[in-house]
Chains A and B, each alone.
Chain A
Amino acid sequence: MTAFVQHSPEDRARMLAGIGVTSFDDIVADVPASIRVKGGLPIPEGLSEPETLARMGRLARRNVGGAELACFAGGGTYDVCVPAATKAIASRPEFATAYTPYQAEVSQGTLQSIYEFQTIVTRLTDLDLANASMYDAATALAEAVLLAQSARPGDRVLVSPYLHPNHRRVLDTLLEPTGVTAVELPSRGARTDVSGLRPDTLEGAVAVVMQQPNWLGALEDMRLVGAALEGDGKPLFIASVDLSSLALLEPPGGYGADIAVGDAQSLGVPMNYGGPSAGVFAAKSEFLRRMPGRIAGLGRDARGQRAFTLAFQTREQHIRRARATSNICTNQALVALQATVSTALLGATGRRRAAELSAVKAHALAERIGHVAGVQLADSEAPFFREFAIRLPAGVRALDVLRAMTRDGILGGIPLSNVPGGGGEGLLVAVTEKRTFEEIEAYAGALDRALHQPNGSRAAEMEKVS
């Protein structure tokens, strides 16, 4: 009997008697014998708690990541500061072991924290509405395009060539049944060429999707896109954004986006090997009844108190079924809570400074890398926030460089193939507020050694050990 089943043999006998049967088999008599498991499940017997944790620890120790290396990998997931207090709150069983707040009277904690999350998202994005979260940025983006498809006639969605490639793949998967296809806009260096967005080229498009900063870290001319899409009945302007950047960069509402999506992870949530994060979904108020996902609202209770509740549930699958705005049920509430608490701890000033520090340090690293022989910025013209692409010397494999850099304690970025403006392999390099100037120096040194002293770093390491 497992430690989590509490019945003694006497309890069991009393319960069976109460049910009016003599054995458990009588209860499950409706289960055809022909499909019953015979001889037990083909998996090992259970372990004790210490044995289980020892085994988990062994698996965890085989991985090398942000705990061992200074992480310069980004691409939508960033090694940002996660305050200790955030973990303390998110570990509370009152938040962690509650269900969806359907019974408002005993769910005010969850409901109010969702409402605060929605408020933070609307303030960062400068849009009217936000929901309680989607699975991740990729699915939030796909849901935004599905919303556009329901709101506008057309069979195409125009997308930046520099969307996160995985987000683009998720979009393609989920668009396939709709008959709407994604058509890529042209590129210019590391940026999207949006100069061709005119009434004739927008014909038949349900939306234009841009990412800011884009996959290669470059800042796009979002105002130009907003201007091209201004006016009733135009394709929707969907912006996929880095939420943490919006403490510094122009918000989507400022450049005319109808919908903003993104990942809450960069607001102060552990990377978790890519999940769980939380997808962010914000929109102009005219799309309220087309919004996917849960929304918390503020009202009054029968006693005249302020009280929070789930709002506009008639959009959702449990009521509207086949005609719901989305099939989403479970979302990422606990992660949204972490993003909320982290933002509350940093505050307006801290959020802005975190963004500024990221930008300052990223620009410092770009400058240092410029002095590493043979390495170039993929697009030296493109302004960036905290992430940029570099091109490695011809014939050099990005994976080899990353491998070598780990010896200096650096996770050097995300490998890129076919870097814009000349091809070849490269790295996508991100710098967060958590990286120190010492680590930035170490990065430049490690890159230099990786390229120019194939065995040098190993020698240095041996020296350190001796």
Chain B
Amino acid sequence: MSAPNVRTTADGDARVIEPTIFELSRPGRRGFRLPEENALADHAHGIPERFLRHEDADLPENAELNVLRHYTRLSTLNHHIEREMYPLGSCTMKYNPKLCEVAADLPGFRDLHPAEPAEFVPGAIELLVDLQERLAAVLGMHAVAVQPAAGAQGELTCLLMARHYFRDLGQKRTKVIVPDSAHGTNPASATFAGFTTVEVPSNERGEVDVERLREVVDEETAVMMITLPNTLGLFESKIREIAEVVHAKGALLYMDGANFNAIVGLVRPGDVPFDFLHLNLHKTFATPHGGGGPGAGPIAASAALAPYLPTPLPSRRDDGACFLDDDRPKSIGRMHGWYGNFGILVRAYAYLLYHGRDGLRDISETAVLNANYLRARLSGEYHLPHDRACMHEFVLSGSRQKALGVRTMDIAKRLLDFGFHPPTVYFPLIVEEALMIEPTESENVETLDRFAEAMLDIAREAREAPDVVKSAPHTTPVGRVDEAGAARNPDLCWRGRCG
């Protein structure tokens, strides 16, 4: 990414790549004409004065072209999947087929009002039901609910289901067990569902230590949450034993499905058996990440837990007719103002139709093949703490480079100069100076080779010219941000008046 032209602010205190929309504003400019604006000359709105604001909100005024140029210029400062590889571990930055975007933009989906009577929107409801049924088939689970708006919300939904389930059984269970390699959302969701988190360590193979797990699981354990494959990119080879240990104490086994892209068509979680789980449609089922969202976090449940799924639940009657079922007395209730991120669900449904049975399996196999190819290419120069075949991602340690004074963050920043987005860094917490690499199925072998060469070049630089790495990036629109300065003197919204 080349450095763009840099301007200087009016007050000359900092160089600016693109001014804010507030600085670009000039009073009286308009970028959109409203219907029948002239009516304001003849009609009063009739709202009493005491409910009104005293002066206009200080919002920017710009013509349409100026607005387009501003946001187009801003967009060019972003790395994105259609520009270059984005091997951000655990985030599954795969390519999103454009047909999914076309489908979501159909007026018969995009322009529906959520409070329309169900009989006006049978196609939308059927889509939700059919998506749930197909996901249930792919997962081998009894039932799916697509309402949660994101993976973390799916986790919270499931943990609330567990809470209600044990209450109905008359059991007081307070603990949620997570491996020490778990995503931060796991313990956070446990807290918001009213549980206490207990960590179980990983063994030298990078898997849950089953013996330690046996010591931790007891009659107060509600749920064991486990990411499969785990955040080291490894399949928990003892997963069936783990399930037995957990179930033997009457606790529930939960799958964090963030890494499901590794095993679609290989393992159905219901066969393990997991009791419930969430998926991230914006990871495995190729809906775009949007700079941080929206995503969707459908959940799946066993027959025992299905009555607790959130309402309204898109459902099918015996005669095949689809409806929104709001009459489910054991349900935990609503998790979203309407039915979830419908527009994202439309994209995921199109993706499922398009790829189908064998396509989904091929995609997962390729994701795993790509990760192992890169692992093999990089494990000579970089320390590979768990030296075994991985699934869709693998975790290197920058410990050798750290000994040379080059930190993992430096390696990440140097990759930016090669045009690649860095891997996830410093996660999972159990690997020192972690570099978590997930190439996804989207990359061809030439791109994987280019990425490997870049990583190997940086390892060489760390030995021969460490300052180049430590002072990276050199070619990005901005350099490293003084985050401590930004935290000590927070500037979280623009204070200047609009021009």
Contacts and interface: CB of A to CB of B under 8 A. Distances in A.
Contacts of B106: 56-57, 60
B224 interface: no
Given A60-B107, A348-B60, A303 B337 contact: no
Interface string B23-65: 0010011111011110110011111101111101111111010
Interface string A410-439: 010011000000000000000001111100
Interface stretch (B12-20, B395-403, B453-461): B12-20
Closest 7 CB pairs of A and B: A274-B338, A46-B356, A60-B108, A274-B114, A177-B194, A334-B290, A299-B486
B185 interface: yes
A52 B350 contact: yes
15 contacts: A19-B375, A19-B376, A35-B267, A63-B108, A89-B72, A93-B80, A93-B81, A95-B75, A130-B493, A249-B47, A302-B481, A305-B479, A332-B293, A333-B294, A353-B34
Interface string B61-97: 1101001101110111111111100101001010111
Interface stretch (B213-221, B247-255, B358-366): B358-366
A29 interface: yes
A45 B52 CA distance: 58
Interface residues of B, number: 209
Contact of B294 (A18, A169, A276): A276
B45 A299 contact: no
A56 B280 CA distance: 22
Given A249-B53, A276-B149, A276-B344, A63 B112 contact: yes
Contacts of A147: none
A391 interface: no
B110 interface: yes
A277 to B, nearest CB: 8
B298 interface: no
B237 to A, nearest CB: 4
A308 B160 CA distance: 37
Interface in B311-349: 332-344, 346, 349
A23 to B, nearest CB: 11
Nearest to A140: B337
B234 to A, nearest CB: 7
B422 A273 contact: no
Given A123-B58, A317-B184, 12 more contacts: A45-B358, A56-B350, A73-B113, A97-B96, A103-B422, A109-B71, A119-B22, A166-B337, A272-B341, A305-B14, A318-B184, A340-B21
Contact of B442 (A4, A30, A277, A414): A4
B416 interface: yes
A2 B359 contact: yes
B170 interface: no
B305 to A, nearest CB: 16
Given A28-B368, A383-B48, A433-B34, A271 B111 contact: yes
A319 interface: yes
A105 B210 CA distance: 42
Given A170-B337, A353-B40, A321 B494 contact: no
B336 A139 contact: yes
Contact of A112 (B6, B20, B112, B126): B20
A123 B368 CA distance: 48
B179 interface: no
Nearest to B375: A19
Interface in A215-264: 219, 223, 246-251, 254, 263
A330 B282 contact: yes
B468 interface: no
B77 A59 contact: no
Contacts of B265: 37, 40-41
A108 B64 CA distance: 22
Nearest to B155: A327
Interface in A376-416: 383-385, 399, 402-403, 406, 411, 414-415
B51 A73 contact: no
B111 A67 contact: yes
A441 to B, nearest CB: 13
Interface in A275-322: 275-278, 288, 294-309, 311-312, 316-322
Nearest to B347: A56
Contact of A36 (B76, B267, B334, B344): B267
Interface in A27-80: 27-32, 34-37, 40-47, 49, 52-53, 55-67, 71, 73, 75-77, 79
Contact of B115 (A31, A73, A105): A73
Contacts of A120: 59
B451 interface: no
A34 B273 CA distance: 11
A326 B15 CA distance: 35
A272 B17 CA distance: 34
A344 B365 contact: no
A116 interface: yes
Contact of B295 (A21, A301, A330, A403): A330
B478 A104 contact: yes
Contact of A27 (B338, B340, B346, B389): B389
B37 A116 contact: no
A306 B445 contact: no
Given A105-B413, A349-B61, A309 B291 contact: no
B373 to A, nearest CB: 4
Contacts of A331: 150, 292-294
A400 to B, nearest CB: 10
Contact of A37 (B36, B160, B266, B473): B266
Contact of B291 (A130, A303, A337, A360): A337
Contacts of A103: 79, 412-413, 416, 421-422
B15 A306 contact: yes
Contacts of A7: 366, 369, 444-445
A136 B293 contact: no
Contacts of B481: 104-105, 299-302, 307-309
Contact of A49 (B76, B99, B234, B412): B99
A28 B332 CA distance: 38
A14 interface: yes
Contacts of A308: 481
B5 to A, nearest CB: 12
B166 to A, nearest CB: 12
B192 A43 contact: no
B332 A275 contact: no
A12 interface: yes
Given A31-B266, A139-B149, A333-B293, A302 B338 contact: no
A15 B377 CA distance: 10
Nearest to A324: B188
Nearest to B338: A274
A98 B121 CA distance: 32
A118 interface: yes
B427 interface: yes
Nearest to A142: B335
A138 B336 contact: yes
B189 A348 contact: no
A356 B40 contact: yes
Given A94-B78, A107-B78, A63 B124 contact: yes
Most B C-beta atoms less than 10 A away, residue of A95, A172, A333: A95
A206 interface: no
Contacts of A360: 39-40, 43-46
Contact of A327 (B122, B189, B288): B189
Contacts of B202: none
B120 A89 contact: no
Contacts of B25: 347
Contacts of A177: 160, 163, 192-194
A277 B70 CA distance: 23
A4 B289 contact: no
A164 B337 contact: yes
B302 interface: no
